[in-house]
A and B are shown apart, each in its own frame.
Chain A
Amino acid sequence: MFDWFPKNISTYGGDIDAVFWLIFYIVGAGFILGEAVILYLVIRYRRKEGRRAAYIAGDKISELAWILVPAAIVLVLDLGIDFAGGEAWSKVKGETPASDIKVIVTGKQFNWNFTYPGPDGQFGTDDDLTLENELHVPVKKVVDLSLNSEDVLHSFFVPVMRLKQDCIPGRKIPAWFEATETGEYEIACAELCGYGHYTMRGFLFVHSEEDYAKWTQERWPPAAADSTQVGQL
């Protein structure tokens, strides 16, 4: 209906957007109703000669019902909103689904570093590869991220994935996404991290499966890798 968001290309982005729209329609109705009532009241009950104000103190339950019943409705809608969102929340922030593609994301003033484990699948070995501001992933595969920071707080934000998560120095924070479309997208920092905060921009390359295989081949030529481990990635 409204084209307000960036394109969504993640498997769970639709769930997040759905929660937004659910709230939007409830809140939108409340907004129109509230403003319309105010407008009606101030026009209808403006001062006129010969008409006096009614004496309504609103201290009897029968009168208070006019505000308590709507408040109860608000309460029910509130809880509904929260429960409607609960599932999507645990999907995005809960357990990361099993994945072959693991990447360590390190924020630092003012770059994103993406570390791949290489063909052996282990971090901390010689074939690790660290790219600056470039994250390459295959389409339709769960990507398992581990976020941390070298210096201050950063926030890993991929608008097209609807993913946002703070990075804290000294901690490993898990996150994940699964892209549904290939293409080149932007990664941003959403937490003030110093004077270069606005330049902390990275790129997400979502490759088709063949392109991703080709990309890995180029990065880790089979000859350089341990022969028994080839193809593990």
Chain B
Amino acid sequence: MSSAATAHATHEEKLSFWRKYIFSVDHKVIGKQYLFLGMFMALVGGLLAYLMRWELAWPESPVPGTGWIPEPTMFQGVVPPEFYNAIVTMHGTIMVFFVAMPILLGAFGNFLIPLMVGAPDMAFPRLNMMSFWTIFTASVVMIASFFVPGGAASAGWTGYPPLSANPVYTGVNWGITLWILGLALEFASFLMGGINFLTTTVSMRARGLKMMRLPLMVWMQITAAVIFMLSVGPLIAGAVLLLLDRTAGTSFYTVAQGGDPLLWQHLFWFFGHPEVYVILLPGLGAVLEVLPVFSRKPIFGYKAIVYSTIVAGVLSFIVWAHHMFVSGMNFKLVMPFSITTILISVPFTIILLAMMATLWKGAIRFTTPMLFAVGTLAMFIIGGLTGIFLGSATADIYLHDTYFVVAHFHYTLISAVFLGGFTAMYFWFPKMFGRMMNETWGKVHFWLTLVFFNLVFMPLFKAGLGGEMRRLYDPFQYDFLKPHQPLHKFATIAAILLFASQIPFLINFFWSLFKGKIADRNPWQANTLEWTAPSPPPHGNFEIAPSVYHGPYVYSAPNMNMKEDWQPQDQPLAS
């Protein structure tokens, strides 16, 4: 495979437009394709969030700017309850599977892994291309599902049967079937991607690049790939059963004929909880790369972080039932799951404290990526800590399925995916596109995002503590929820401003793409191998095959002077 990659590299000039930009086998081009797909889907998911938030603040009033959407999807801009459920479902599905995974794993995993391990390309370049076109097809299927009779899937992103198993319960027929097919394609895509990530990392490391010299981003990516690969199988099996229930008329999830709806919940969460780490770890990985570079310090406790990540990954397989404390499962099984769940806070505490310790006695430069990295750290703490409430089975009786849960997972996922993703974006943009992004606009983008993100989700904690359930079309039907309307209005206005805060980013991104300052090879003075390649790296990546002499975070070592306080991995340490 590697010989194929070099063969391509030598013929780079001769490649047609189609082979170069559309059906490319170059991991960097594929990474960018994933990035643009993820950004587009983020727009779709964001618009759904806008409809949902508007509906929550001012139920049954027309949503501004949506009057053109035809009936029966919407009525002169008013969201009907059926469509509201579809919005809730598709927002979750799209954000997790078509935004977070394509951007954090698809884009950055693809772009960075071969560069960071010193390989000319992925192990299986054609498989890599296929994985992108598979998720592209999956995205088309997902979007198409909005336009079929009955509308898109509306049984929640968790798709619990019997609601999802029989069209009579939702009125959605093709929508849910397409939803299952779209997810199946997405899973297939990331299984292919995962095989590439793992094989490339294990078998194509540059000479001298021992596993314990890998950049932490690579560790996070491959841990995520392993977790995904080992957890998604049972859900694929479960999805086959669900699809058969829907189309062939079997009764795997129907109690009357000997089925059991709880099976789906077990299979879904056996995957669903590890999946959270699949998208969270690469976000933390970006932070772990950025912190040492802009603190000019080695990462604190490299091995402790690696082992904690592995422990968290293993633990993630034995915590799934904490999503099911009040589902009717055996009440004695709950305590063991509660304990394993809460134990997960230990490895993550170690990772977060290691991040903080990296700042300690550093010489911190506040570039945009560094701001986002510290912001991710500060926000992720909130997400992690609020998880303790939900991990405790007792507190979860009251908090389960309330807005407290919604606020909690948005704090973990928006911090790791959104802020962590922007950390990666601003940090590796010069390497990806060969130009620098504008720092001032980046900082404006950071502060606006940080402020409005908190203003959207802080009120939701309070709504949850007040007992407000998730997924309610009109919460104010309930007398005890009527006082929550001001909270929702506040959150909705903040959400609109949060969307608006992304405009500086988009302008900055596209402007820098064409007009940004030309980036040199190593604009941040970083050590890892990707910075030794040209910006952007050509097909084949490195002019000469790199050899690695030391770990990735040798900054400000005692023998270095202040002007040159870094030592790229492909250069031997001066003794």
The complex places the Cα of A189 from the Cα of B468 at a distance, in Å, of 10
Given A71-B353, A90-B331; A195-B81 close (CB under 8 Å): yes
B477 touching A198 by the CB < 8 A rule?
yes
The complex places the Cα of A53 from the Cα of B388 at a distance, in Å, of 35
Chain B nearest CB, measured from A24 CB (Å)? 8
Chain B nearest CB, measured from A228 CB (Å)? 37
Contact bitstring B451-466, A, C-beta under 8 A = 1, else 0 = 0000000000010011
Give the residues in chain A near B299, CB-CB below 8 Å. 57-58
B298 touching A67 by the CB < 8 A rule?
no
Give the residues in chain B near A193, CB-CB below 8 Å. 163
Residues of chain A in range 70-89 having any CB-CB distance to chain B below 8 Å: 70-71, 74-75, 78-79, 81-82, 85-86, 88-89
Cβ-defined partner of B397 (8 Å) among A35, A46, A81, A164:
A164
A27 touching B156 by the CB < 8 A rule?
no
Query: Does A186 sit at the interface, judged by CB under 8 A?
Result: yes
Cβ-defined partner of A31 (8 Å) among B339, B374, B381, B392:
B381
Chain A nearest CB, measured from B478 CB (Å)? 6
The complex places the Cα of A90 from the Cα of B237 at a distance, in Å, of 34
A74 touching B349 by the CB < 8 A rule?
yes
Q: Which of A36-44, A121-129, A219-227 contacts B (4 or more CB under 8 A)?
A: A36-44
A81 touching B342 by the CB < 8 A rule?
yes
Residues of chain B in range 359-375 having any CB-CB distance to chain A below 8 Å: 359-366, 374
The complex places the Cα of A23 from the Cα of B160 at a distance, in Å, of 30
Given A159-B467, A168-B261; A64-B304 close (CB under 8 Å): yes
Cβ-defined partner of A52 (8 Å) among B300, B473, B562:
B562
Query: Does B184 sit at the interface, judged by CB under 8 A?
Result: no
Q: Which residue of A lies closest to B255 (CB)?
A: A170
B363 touching A53 by the CB < 8 A rule?
yes
Residues of chain A in range 167-196 having any CB-CB distance to chain B below 8 Å: 167-171, 173, 186, 188-196
Q: Which of A97-105, A136-144, A147-155, A207-215 contacts B (4 or more CB under 8 A)?
A: A147-155
B363 touching A51 by the CB < 8 A rule?
yes
The complex places the Cα of A228 from the Cα of B171 at a distance, in Å, of 50
Residue from the set B81, B326, B402, B477 with the largest chain A CB neighbour count within 10 Å: B326
Give the residues in chain A near B462, CB-CB below 8 Å. 4
Give the residues in chain A near B196, CB-CB below 8 Å. none
Given A38-B359, A159-B467; A151-B162 close (CB under 8 Å): yes
Query: Does B147 sit at the interface, judged by CB under 8 A?
Result: no
Chain B nearest CB, measured from A34 CB (Å)? 5
A56 touching B169 by the CB < 8 A rule?
no
Cβ-defined partner of A82 (8 Å) among B261, B304, B339, B352:
B339
The complex places the Cα of A52 from the Cα of B557 at a distance, in Å, of 10
The complex places the Cα of A199 from the Cα of B475 at a distance, in Å, of 9
Give the residues in chain A near B479, CB-CB below 8 Å. 186
The complex places the Cα of A42 from the Cα of B162 at a distance, in Å, of 51
Residues of chain B in range 311-326 having any CB-CB distance to chain A below 8 Å: 326
Query: Does B354 sit at the interface, judged by CB under 8 A?
Result: yes
A56 touching B331 by the CB < 8 A rule?
no
B361 touching A109 by the CB < 8 A rule?
no
**Number of residues on chain A facing chain B (CB within 8 A):** 86
Cβ-defined partner of A190 (8 Å) among B155, B169, B331, B402:
B402
The complex places the Cα of A59 from the Cα of B357 at a distance, in Å, of 12
B342 touching A78 by the CB < 8 A rule?
yes
B363 touching A45 by the CB < 8 A rule?
yes
Residues of chain B in range 544-560 having any CB-CB distance to chain A below 8 Å: 553, 555-558
Give the residues in chain A near B343, CB-CB below 8 Å. 75, 78
The complex places the Cα of A169 from the Cα of B478 at a distance, in Å, of 25
Give the residues in chain B near A53, CB-CB below 8 Å. 295-297, 361-363, 555-556, 565
**Number of residues on chain B facing chain A (CB within 8 A):** 96
Query: Does B480 sit at the interface, judged by CB under 8 A?
Result: yes
A55 touching B557 by the CB < 8 A rule?
yes
B398 touching A164 by the CB < 8 A rule?
yes
B363 touching A85 by the CB < 8 A rule?
no
Cβ-defined partner of A86 (8 Å) among B335, B475, B480, B553:
B335
Cβ-defined partner of A109 (8 Å) among B169, B261, B467:
B169
The complex places the Cα of A82 from the Cα of B543 at a distance, in Å, of 56
Given A71-B350, A71-B353; A197-B395 close (CB under 8 Å): no
Residues of chain B in range 491-545 having any CB-CB distance to chain A below 8 Å: none
Residues of chain B in range 201-234 having any CB-CB distance to chain A below 8 Å: none
A195 touching B171 by the CB < 8 A rule?
yes
Cβ-defined partner of B385 (8 Å) among A17, A30, A75, A173:
A30
A201 touching B360 by the CB < 8 A rule?
no
Chain A nearest CB, measured from B381 CB (Å)? 5
Q: Which residue of A lies closest to B469 (CB)?
A: A190
Contact bitstring A96-117, B, C-beta under 8 A = 1, else 0 = 0000000000000100000000
Give the residues in chain B near A233, CB-CB below 8 Å. none
Query: Does B394 sit at the interface, judged by CB under 8 A?
Result: yes
B328 touching A173 by the CB < 8 A rule?
yes
Chain B nearest CB, measured from A61 CB (Å)? 10
Query: Does B143 sit at the interface, judged by CB under 8 A?
Result: no
Cβ-defined partner of A67 (8 Å) among B345, B353, B556, B558:
B353
A27 touching B397 by the CB < 8 A rule?
no
B345 touching A74 by the CB < 8 A rule?
yes
The complex places the Cα of A150 from the Cα of B363 at a distance, in Å, of 64
Cβ-defined partner of B350 (8 Å) among A68, A86, A186, A201:
A68
Contacts A/B (CB < 8 Å), 17 sampled: A27-B388, A53-B295, A53-B297, A54-B556, A55-B558, A67-B300, A75-B346, A79-B342, A152-B163, A157-B467, A164-B400, A165-B326, A168-B255, A168-B328, A194-B85, A195-B170, A197-B471
Assuming A89-B334, A155-B401, what are 9 further A-B pairs, CB within 8 angstroms? A4-B466, A27-B388, A31-B385, A42-B366, A55-B298, A85-B338, A86-B394, A152-B169, A198-B477
The 3 residue pairs across chains A and B that have the minimum distance between CB atoms: A170-B255, A85-B394, A58-B300
